[in-house]
Amino acid sequence: MPLDVSSRIAAGEVVERPSSVVKELVENSLDAHATKIDIECRRSGIDLICVADNGCGIPSSQVEIAFQRYATSKIGTVDDLVNVRSLGFRGEALPSIAAVADVELSTCVEGAPLGSYVYLHGGDVVQRESKPRAPGTTIAIRRLFSHFPARFKFLKSESTENSHSALVISQYALAYPLVSFSLLLEDRLALRSPGSGDVRDVVTQLYGTELGKAMVPVEVSVDSLHITGLVAPASLSRAGRGHQSTFVNQRWVRSPLLQRAIDEAYRGLLPDGRHAIAILNIQLPPDRVDVNVHPSKAQVKFADEQSMFRAVRDAVHSTLAKTSIASEAQHLSSWGSAATQSTWSVREMGSQSPSFETTPIPSSTNSASLPPLRILGQIATTYVVAEGPDGMYVIDQHAAHERITYDRLIERREGRELEVQGLLEPLAIELTPAEDAVLASVKEEMATLGFTLEPFGGRSYLLRSVPAVLAGGDAASTVREILLDLSRGSQNRTLEGLAETAACHAAVRAGQVLTPQEMRHLITQLEQCTQPRTCPHGRPTIIHFSLGQLEKLFGRRA
């Protein structure tokens, strides 16, 4: 295979997308012990990615070597590989980037009279000069993937790329609170971290003052394992895992094991579908963890998974318990404990006015439509049980409400009047850098749905109106949820996609007690939907047990 081809294939593993370039360059700056790192992206990194640091710099004699494959100054022996302390160690990033872009590098080490400047095109140095520079390194990447049309074509939209880059920098800012980061996206300051050394300051910058104040420090040491960070009380949760960050020896990692450990610590404290907010940094001897699992170095393998899981779970759990937040959260989510609540709500049903219980829901002629239903009660604070003309009907309250909300959001498009609820007091929303980057691309769709967001400086917006069907709910968090979903690339940007997320987020959850009136209202509204039997994702909203089936189950009939 020609070298050119093989190096491009290898490059693809390291530089998948502009944000992976951002990640590799910032990791190099961090390995160089920089305390100030300034990042800039133009056209989501396609036109320019520039990272400037005040780190140790590269000695003039080493500049060309840095661009050679597998050349790294960070490890020298196999022994070192077992004891990796730096973020980089494979010596692949710079050559891989140089294979798919033009690279300009200027660097200078402390005490040197002059620094070096090189320009690389097609992986080769085409210009070299000596130039003065303060100690540190600036590297500018231009025309990324321009000789790599296949990769170029598959890039998601520009705002998705920006949002990924913002996420990368946000995570490193959380992991390195002593470093001051700034990120310019298309000439706009997306993020600046103070470098004060206090991770709480970074949280305030990224997630706003409420979380900055409310999060509780974790600090636990077990043998050679140190777990530090911040966790939020269970009363503050999110619908996704976007606010969970895990670092191993200050490397940002995605670890299902650590996710499960966090889930376990919050078990019983969070309602269904909600996730904890946590920032955890795990320090352990480098030989107890393998970071060389994948070229992107985002996966890790722990030597002792069991004890790692237990240590993290217990650290978070004891922190929550200690601060008496757990008990407060228990109280807040007590409506989520299914067993006790369901008996209660069924019993309460008995004392309700009989006229309610026996009023059948009028049925329409639509074939997909629901038969007349007599509501019997709620079980497991999740399902509504009803009797129909032929047996028993079990309705998933969340799925049903999701369908109703989705239809209301979408039907407005079809010529009907926009049902928008203006807010008397506009709601101030502070977006994270990643959410903010994605908003630009869906502003119009958001407006069509009824969310009016007015810029209010920086990453702040005033929410002036919401879709009427969502009025009274937590509209700000619905907006956030939509943007978060998009920034992760997990949802499409069509109106339908946005409406799906909004509906799922705003719908009543499993675990929520419904009054008889609420149940009846739910069924009446479901009845009016054109496709009442499935939720927008296509899952059933209602399951029917016919009398025949029941008879069979009871052995009354063969």
Q: In the complex with ligand ADP, which residue's Cβ is closer, 55 or 242?
A: 55
Q: 3-class SS at 409? A: helix
> In whole angstroms, how close is the CB of 112 to ligand ADP at the nearest point?
13
Which range in 55-63, 198-206, 380-388, 521-529 contacts ligand ADP by CB under 6 A? Answer: 55-63
CA dist., res. 163 & res. 495, Å (int)? 20
Please, which contacts does 23-26 make with residues 24 or more away whose CB atoms are closer than 8 Å?
Answer: 23/168, 23/296, 24/88, 24/93, 24/96, 24/97, 25/49, 25/51, 25/93, 25/97, 25/139, 25/141, 26/51, 26/168, 26/169, 26/172, 26/181
Which range in 23-31, 203-211, 372-380, 487-495 contacts ligand ADP by CB under 6 A? Answer: 23-31
Tokens 């609170």 correspond to what residue? 177
Total site size for ligand ADP, rule CB under 6 A = 21
Q: Are 391 and 545 in contact (CB under 8 A)?
A: yes
Q: Which residue has the CB atom at the shortest distance from Mg ion?
A: 88
CA dist., res. 405 & res. 83, Å (int)? 53
Phi, psi at 374, each rounded to 5°:
-110, 120
Give me 202's structure tokens: 């970074």
> In whole angstroms, how close is the CB of 57 to Mg ion at the nearest point?
15
Binders of ligand ADP in range 56-85 (CB under 6 A): 56-58, 66, 72-74
Q: Which of 12, 18, 45, 88 binds ligand ADP (CB under 6 A)?
A: 88
Q: 3-class SS at 139? A: strand
Q: In the complex with ligand ADP, which residue's Cβ is closer, 102 or 500?
A: 102
91 binds ligand ADP (CB under 6 A): yes
> In whole angstroms, how close is the CB of 193 to ligand ADP at the nearest point?
18
498 binds ligand ADP (CB under 6 A): no
Q: Which of 8, 17, 23, 90 binds ligand ADP (CB under 6 A)?
A: 90
Binders of ligand ADP in range 128-167 (CB under 6 A): 137
Which range in 28-36, 220-228, 438-446, 517-525 contacts ligand ADP by CB under 6 A? Answer: 28-36
Binders of ligand ADP in range 429-448 (CB under 6 A): none
Sign of the Cα pseudo-torsion (255, 256, 261, 264, in order): positive
Binders of Mg ion in range 87-106 (CB under 5 A): 88, 93
Which range in 52-60, 201-209, 303-311, 409-417 contacts ligand ADP by CB under 6 A? Answer: 52-60
28 binds Mg ion (CB under 5 A): yes
Which range in 25-33, 265-273, 374-382, 486-494 contacts Mg ion by CB under 5 A? Answer: 25-33
Q: Are 460 and 424 in contact (CB under 8 A)?
A: no
Tokens 């002629």 correspond to what residue? 365
Q: In the complex with Mg ion, which residue's Cβ is closer, 20 or 465?
A: 20
> In whole angstroms, how close is the CB of 86 to ligand ADP at the nearest point?
7
Q: Is 2 exposed, middle or buried (0-12, 13-18, 19+ CB in 10 A)?
A: exposed
Selection from ligand ADP, Mg ion, none that 73 binds (CB < 5 to 8 A by kind) is ligand ADP
What does DSSP assign to residue 333?
T
55 binds Mg ion (CB under 5 A): no
Q: In the complex with Mg ion, which residue's Cβ is closer, 86 or 281?
A: 86
What does DSSP assign to residue 555?
T
CA dist., res. 423 & res. 157, Å (int)? 32
Binders of ligand ADP in range 397-416 (CB under 6 A): none
Q: Are 425 and 200 in contact (CB under 8 A)?
A: no
Helix residue spans in 148-255 (DSSP H): 149-154, 158-175, 199-207, 209-214
Q: In the complex with ligand ADP, which residue's Cβ is closer, 48 or 475?
A: 48
Q: Residue 273: what residue type?
A: G
Selection from ligand ADP, Mg ion, none that 91 binds (CB < 5 to 8 A by kind) is ligand ADP
Could you list the residues that contact ligand ADP (CB under 6 A)? 24, 28-29, 32, 53, 55-58, 66, 72-74, 88-94, 137
Could you list the residues that contact Mg ion (CB under 5 A)? 28, 88, 93
